[in-house]
Homo-oligomer: A and B are copies of this chain.
Amino acid sequence: MSDEPTITTIARRAGVSIASVSRVLNGLPTRAETERRVMSVARELGYVPNSAARSLKSRRSNQIGFAMADIGNPVYLAMVREIQPMLKAAGYRLVLHSTNADAADEIDVLRGLGERYIDGLIMIPLRVTDGHLEMFAAARAPIVVIGSVPEGTPVDNVRVDSRAGVRLVVQHLHGLGRRRIGFVNGPLDTVPGAARSAAYAEALETLGLPYDRNLVEVGDFYRADGARAAARLLERVPDLDALLCANDLIALGALDVLRRAGRRVPEDVAVAGMDDTDLATIAWPPLTSVSLGSAERGRAAAELLLDRLDRDGRAPRTVTVEPRLVTRASTMGEETP
């Protein structure tokens, strides 16, 4: 993060909430002690409010958009749980768009930025099309993208090293002695699908395992698609001994299929998901999953957006979050009956 002072840095330094800083800087009633501390830190850091941003704020909607592919995927829920209270504390209401990863829908939402029904947008597109890039370049309100964007795209950006995540889980399965590690991925023309595909091949190579295209199936990032893809994979390779799924919803579908096929998890087939959502602890057996830091990504995105709303004009910033493997009974076996 940059060193230029913002309401977030002032809040952190003064030990008060972002909402308190915002109230003091906007001349609203605040406790005297809070006001004193905020003004002292603001002076100390040389904070100068951006007057262009201020005049914009006078016609602001006090709403921020969050556009995601599917409100049925709890990975986005984990982000909302972080983003919403941060924005609320700063005086903004969050409005949600579930776009079904439809690029036209997402571009429509971006157009909404121009219509001023939202003052800023956090977006997590599965595909970044030319249409997205044009709207990013033309936008007159702040945008934060969660996910990868091409170098030089003029938006703030939060990334996760999903390749490292795939590597962690493949190494884990290999370490358990599994050698026929199947992979059910989402669409290859999506940013996460492409990244996971490359990472799976890379991880096998690192471990000295051959890449067998029979072991790979592609569906979509939903439970029913995951089930269908897992069924095709199981029919083709009946003796697979591990299954990596590109998200937790796909893994739920795979668990359904394995149960119906009479395969024990993890004794016959170890199963792992990605995203480490709430579903991982609801599933039976509980699901090993790679956390891609959804809560951290949500927090980072909200922070970048609030800073940008507060002071525009700086260069775009990127925050990167590290993955973390969370092992449960679907690969380890201890908790299975």
CB of A108 within 8 Å of the partner chain: yes
Chain B residue, CB-CB nearest to A117 = B117
Residues of B within 8 A of A93 (CB): 97, 105, 108-109
Task: Out of B71, B72, B279, B337, name the residue touching A337 (CB < 8 Å).
Answer: B337
CB of A80 within 8 Å of the partner chain: yes
CB of A194 within 8 Å of the partner chain: no
CB of A318 within 8 Å of the partner chain: no
Residues of B within 8 A of A61 (CB): 115, 117
CB of A20 within 8 Å of the partner chain: no
Most central of A81, A96, A223 by chain B CB within 10 Å: A96
CB of A49 within 8 Å of the partner chain: no
Nearest CB of B to A171, in Å: 28
Residues of B within 8 A of A117 (CB): 61, 63, 117
CB of A34 within 8 Å of the partner chain: no
CB of A282 within 8 Å of the partner chain: yes
Nearest CB of B to A85, in Å: 9
Contacting residues of chain A (60-81) with chain B, CB-CB under 8 angstroms: 61, 63, 65, 71-72, 74, 77, 80-81
Whether the pair A80, B98 counts as a contact (CB closer than 8 A) is: yes
Question: How far does the alpha carbon of A252 sit from the alpha carbon of B63 in the complex, in Å?
Answer: 33
Residues of B within 8 A of A282 (CB): 252, 279, 282-283
Contact flags (1/0) for A278-296 with B, using CB distance below 8 Å?
1100111000000000000
Size of the chain A interface, CB-CB below 8 angstroms:
30
Whether the pair B80, A71 counts as a contact (CB closer than 8 A) is: yes
Residues of B within 8 A of A337 (CB): 337
Whether the pair A84, B63 counts as a contact (CB closer than 8 A) is: no
Residues of B within 8 A of A63 (CB): 112, 117
Question: How far does the alpha carbon of A274 sit from the alpha carbon of B147 in the complex, in Å?
Answer: 37
Contact flags (1/0) for A243-258 with B, using CB distance below 8 Å?
0000000001000000
Nearest CB of B to A70, in Å: 9
Nearest CB of B to A213, in Å: 31
Question: How far does the alpha carbon of A279 sit from the alpha carbon of B282 in the complex, in Å?
Answer: 8
CB of A95 within 8 Å of the partner chain: yes
Residues of B within 8 A of A65 (CB): 95
Residues of B within 8 A of A284 (CB): 283-284
Question: How far does the alpha carbon of A61 sit from the alpha carbon of B105 in the complex, in Å?
Answer: 15
Residues of B within 8 A of A94 (CB): 97-98
Closest 5 CB pairs of A and B: A284-B284, A96-B96, A117-B117, A95-B95, A72-B77
| A to B CB contacts below 8 Å, 5 in the list | A71-B96, A94-B97, A252-B282, A279-B282, A282-B282
Other than the known A71-B77, A96-B98, what 4 A-B pairs have Cβ atoms closer than 8 Å?
Answer: A65-B95, A72-B278, A80-B98, A282-B283
